[in-house]
Amino acid sequence: MAEDLEFFKIEKDSESKVTKVIFDRPPVNAVHDGVLNELNRVIDMLWNDTDTRVVVITGGGEKAFSAGADVAGGTIPTNHFEFLEFNRKGERIYRRISEMPKPVIAAINGYALGGGLELAMACDLRLAKKKVQLGFPEVTLGIIPGWGGTQRTVKLVGISKAMEMVLTGERITAEEAAKFGLVNRVYDDEKFDEEVMNFAKNMAKMCAPLSMAIAKRLVNKGGEVPMDIGLEMESFGAGLMYPTEDMQEGMMARMEKRPPDFKGI
Mean pLDDT over all residues of the chain?
93
Q: Which residues, including other chains, have CB under 8 Å from residue 195's CB and lie 6 or more apart?
A: 127, 187
What domains, with CATH codes, occur in the chain? Answer: 2-204 (3.90.226.10), 207-256 (1.10.12)
- Cβ proximity of 27 and 63 under 8 Å: yes
Summarize pLDDT for 237-256 with one digit per residue, the tens.
999 888 899 999 899 999 99
Q: Which of 263, 243, 261 is nearest to 252 (CA)?
A: 261
* Distance from the Cα of residue 68 to its chain's centroid: 15
Quick one: pLDDT band at residue 74, thresholds 50, 70, 90?
Answer: low
Strands 172-173 and 133-135: what pairing?
A: antiparallel
- For residue 39, the surrounding DSSP H or E stretch is helix 33-47
pLDDT at 114: 96
Instruction: Determine the average pLDDT of the residues in 31-36.
Output: 94
Report which of residues 73 and 170 the model is more confident about.
170
Cα gap 106→20, rounded to integer Å: 10
Give the DSSP letter string of 181-248: TSSSEEE-GGGHHHHHHHHHHHHHHHS-HHHHHHHHHHHHHHTTS-HHHHHHHHHHHHHHHTT-HHHH
CA distance 216 to 219: 5
Note the pLDDT of residue 1.
Answer: 58
**CA nearest neighbour of 101 among 189, 191, 214:** 214
Q: Do residues 51 and 17 lie in contact, with contact meaning Cβ atoms separated by under 8 Å?
A: yes
The residue ranking higher by pLDDT, 122 or 74, is 122
For the residues 146-170, what does the mean pLDDT come to? 95
Q: What is the pLDDT of residue 194?
A: 96
Task: Note the pLDDT tens digit of each residue in 88-118.
Answer: 999 999 999 999 999 999 999 999 999 999 9
Q: What is the mean pLDDT of residues 212-224?
A: 93
Q: What is the mean pLDDT of residues 149-168?
A: 95
Confidence of residue 38 (pLDDT cuts 50, 70, 90): very high
Binned at pLDDT 50, 70 and 90, residue 264 comes out as: confident
Q: Which residues are catalytic, by number?
A: 118, 138
Identify the H or E element spanning 156. Answer: helix 149-157
pLDDT digits (tens, 9 = 90+) for 164-215: 999 999 999 999 999 999 999 999 999 999 999 999 999 999 999 999 999 9
Q: What is the pLDDT of residue 77?
A: 78
